[in-house]
Structure 1
Amino acid sequence: MSQLTQTGEFSTRLAFLSFAFGTFLLLLVSISPDVAALYMVGFFYVLFCLFANGVVLVQLLYEFITMPSLRSYLAIKILILLANIPIVLLYLFLLVNHFFI
């Protein structure tokens, strides 16, 4: 049970940190004159987040399948982790509309 708690806490922390750092990068891009360098940082950040969040999502899905008694807890953790997807799409939409139009 302690590993499950650690996985659940880690997934929530990872989702929050991904959101916070992504928001910070978006704010930097909107106020910085050197946008090209920040685009590169943002690109590699997105790749890193895809990998890290993907690994944690696979772990949560494995636990969701193998531990039926804890599915409601794990479903909430999975949804928290997946909540970053529409946020990233919104940020991408904002960047494209702000800088390329």
Structure 2
Amino acid sequence: METPTFEPSLKGKFSTELAITSFAIGTVLLVIQKLAPYNFAILFIGFFYVLFAILVNGIMLISLAYHFIILPKYRDYIAIKILILLANIPITILYILIVFNINLLNL
């Protein structure tokens, strides 16, 4: 049986770039929404961006998890890339709370 090939620098670089790009686009959409709070087109775009980002980042997460399982030699490296990718989840939740002006301190 042939050993799967994996170039850690390529897969890891792309997943980190994806995480940073997702964060940057989300931040830009948040800033635009805050500058034009009554523009529902921004909310619409933002909503579909979140759905798209979940799909794309989810596919990358599945790919990294697969490589994490089959390539024990690179587990430390892949685990860090998974954590970088997952760091966008709490940021997205915070941005959603900000957009909908939900104050958790007043619950």
Give TM-score scaled by structure 1 length.
Answer: 0.90
Q: Is the 8 A contact 2:12 2:81 kept in 1?
A: yes
**Higher-Rg member (1/2):** 2
RMSD across aligned positions (CA): 1.5
Q: How does 1:10-49 map to 2 (within 5 A)?
A: 10-32=14-36, 34-49=38-53
Q: How does 1:38-77 map to 2 (within 5 A)?
A: 38-77=42-81
For 2:12, the equivalent position in structure 1 comes to 8
SS in 2 for 1:5: helix
| Cα deviation digits, residues 55-81 of structure 1 (max 9, x gap) | 100000000000001100000000000
Q: How many aligned residue pairs are there?
A: 98
Quote the sequence identity (%).
49
Q: Is the 8 A contact 2:8 2:74 kept in 1?
A: no
Give TM-score scaled by structure 2 length.
Answer: 0.86
Consecutive unaligned residues in structure 2, runs of 5 or more:
103-107
Q: How far does residue 5 in structure 1 lie from its aligned partner after superposition?
A: 2.0
More helix by share: 1
Query: Where do 4+ consecutive residues of structure 1 move more than 6 Å?
Result: none
Consecutive unaligned residues in structure 1, runs of 5 or more:
none
For 2:91, the equivalent position in structure 1 comes to 87
